Structure 1
């Protein structure tokens, strides 16, 4: 298997790259600069800006393109950045695949395209995005589907929920994510601050599981061709529950108090959410249980300290 990846230096990409090397004959990484945390003779780096038409000569005939590069939730606060990077960036990557005969395309979207935080959801749930981050991913999904209708490119769209896990190194700037932000604040201030009651319930998936699911999709592409896969685990946590786990692990590891500050009583009640994992588990893939979050939080602390 020969794989070409955009966003291989990011939070998900670095973890995936670390795992997919052993499964691949060759791995190409597309990016603006070569800041990869993972090094291997199998890796070829291609300097490219996905916000512009991509004019590069590929050194291999790649089997599958995994598109991870996009504006994150913080960058997407600027609608122009979100449109340019997420929407047009996806279109230009699809153009590259079309020009080079790469006929398998895995697109990483977001669970936020559903626009819902409660209820029972699966891949057929109606999309009702409520922010620029979500709506630009929805628009990028439409580009992916259009190319599947009009070219030989087949796709899989992955919609991850909330991801936890230690980054490959601490320079990967995703310290706004839960629980990463709680760990960072605990180390720097011996405090964890919640601006809400923390009773919001979310599905969280282990970063390692998400990478392994992606590898499974590459290897079993025909079984998932032109489908959507929710990157969910079925493991629900409230935000305050995760904050409490971070506090407990910090105090156990370092034998010092960490204060939990809750600044609001809203929301008053936890929401109920159930997200189907059937598309992942139908292949026999086994997702990690809730206990894996403790191991990952401990690894995040080791990285920060």
Structure 2
């Protein structure tokens, strides 16, 4: 596994380590295989033990592209390519990559696994490139899948190291605690499917336990379908309950062309997730409020 200390990776580890031996791949000294996917020189000392599967949770994020675009592309293409080669050489016959719904392109209308890929942003293109690195290894002997969650939320394993505070499920609670207000730059009418990190972990575990072959795409579907404005209201309500202080929500002007509402769905037989956005947000707010 890569990305074991991240939002999604940490949840996958918590679930899988009860029944599986996890080989942690990353840049920290305590990892079982220490390497940097964006630095090919670190591969000289990387030694993979025999493994059955690779779960890659360390894909490129917006902050990677914003801060070091050249390293981000090395990670998304060269690093992913070497990682998959090493995993296959070590015996892996199941490969799963945590990608992004943004690979589909504009998130409007009905979006399921039958929607053609249309990555537009650098972030989406980087994820699509990594997907293709994985996909080309699919065969009747190697089973490969890309998971495309929409908007991910969850408790933070290490808030001090977390970088993605611009994401709605984290930005809104932090702003509510620090300033007593949540500001939405747009009208807030855009809809998203909010899926918990524990729900994504359960999809990974189920996929690893199934038989099959070849390539597939999976949309992990969360319990909450809501607009950005509705999510802001939930965060404000929970912030008032946790802090005892009022929290106001401010919305931007109306969109020139209101987006067609998103219906993020899956054609797979996997059940919708059960992780509560409201309960998880309440726990995050308590953490941000000093653990009170």
Residues 234, 277 of structure 1: 8 Å contact kept: no
Matched, 1:75 2:64: yes
Unaligned runs of 5+ in 2: none
Q: How far apart, in 2, do the equivalents of 1:172 and 1:156 lie?
A: 28
CA distance in 2, matches of 1:275, 1:191: 29
CA contact (8 A) 1:51 1:89 kept: yes
C-alpha distance in 1 between matches for 2:256 and 2:179: 26
Closer, same or farther in 2 for the Cα pair 1:96/1:191, shift >3 Å?
same
Match of 2:262 in 1: 273
Following the alignment from structure 1 to structure 2, what is the Cα–Cα distance between the partners of residues 189 and 241? Answer: 19
Is 1:245 aligned with 2:234?
Answer: yes
Q: Tell me if the contact between 1:169 and 1:303 (Cα under 8 Å) persists in the aligned partners.
A: no
1:11 aligns with 2:1: no
> How large is the RMSD of aligned CA atoms in angstroms?
2.1
Q: 1:31 aligns with which of 26, 29, 40?
A: 26
Partner Cα distance (2:187, 2:257) in 1: 7
Contact 1:115-1:130 at 8 Å conserved across structures: yes
How far did 1:268 drift? 6.6
The structure-2 alpha-carbon separation of the partners of 1:250 and 1:270, relative to structure 1 and needing over 3 Å to count, comes to: farther
Which whole-Å deviations, capped at 9, do the CAs of 1:17-72 have from their partners, x for residues lacking one? 12211121x1111111147xxxxxxxx6221111244342234x211100111220
Shift of 1:184: 0.7
97 and 152 in structure 1: CA distance in 2 versus 1, 3 angstrom threshold? farther
Provide the residue aligned with 2:122 in structure 1: 132
**Is 1:287 equivalent to 2:277 in the alignment?**
no
Equivalents in 1 of 2:114, 2:69: separation in Å? 27
The 1:246/1:200 distance shift into structure 2, 3 A limit, reads same
**What's the CA shift for 1:234?**
6.7
Q: How many residues align?
A: 284
Partner Cα distance (2:213, 2:240) in 1 = 44
Q: Are 2:165 and 2:171, in contact at CA under 8 Å, matched by a contact in 1?
A: yes
Aligned pair 1:21/2:17, yes or no? Answer: yes
Task: Tell whether 2:248 aligns with 1:262.
Answer: no
* Inter-partner Cα distance in structure 1 for 2:53 and 2:198: 20
Whether the 8 Å CA contact 2:219–2:266 is kept in 1: the answer is yes
CA gap of 1:247–1:234, structure 2 versus 1, over 3 A, is closer
Alignment correspondent of 1:50: 37
For the 8 Å contact 2:38–2:71, the answer to whether it is kept is: no
Q: Quick one: structure 1 residues 212 and 148, their matched pair in 2 at CA, closer, same or farther if it must change by over 3 Å?
A: same
Asked if 1:218 is matched to 2:202, the reply is no
TM-score (norm 1): 0.86
**Preserved CA contact (<8 Å) 2:192 2:264:** no
Q: Which residue of 2 aligns with 1:39?
A: none
Tell me the CA shift for residue 175 of structure 1.
Answer: 1.8
In the aligned structure 2, how far is the partner of 1:257 from the partner of 1:203?
27
Q: Distance in 1 between matches of 2:123 and 2:143?
A: 24
Conservation of the 8 A alpha-carbon contact between 1:86 and 1:137: yes
What SS does structure 2 have at the residue aligned with 1:33? coil
* Structure 1 residue runs without a partner (length 5+): 36-43
TM score, norm. by length of structure 2: 0.89
1:172 Cα shift? Answer: 4.0
Structure 1 position 120, deviation (Å): 1.4
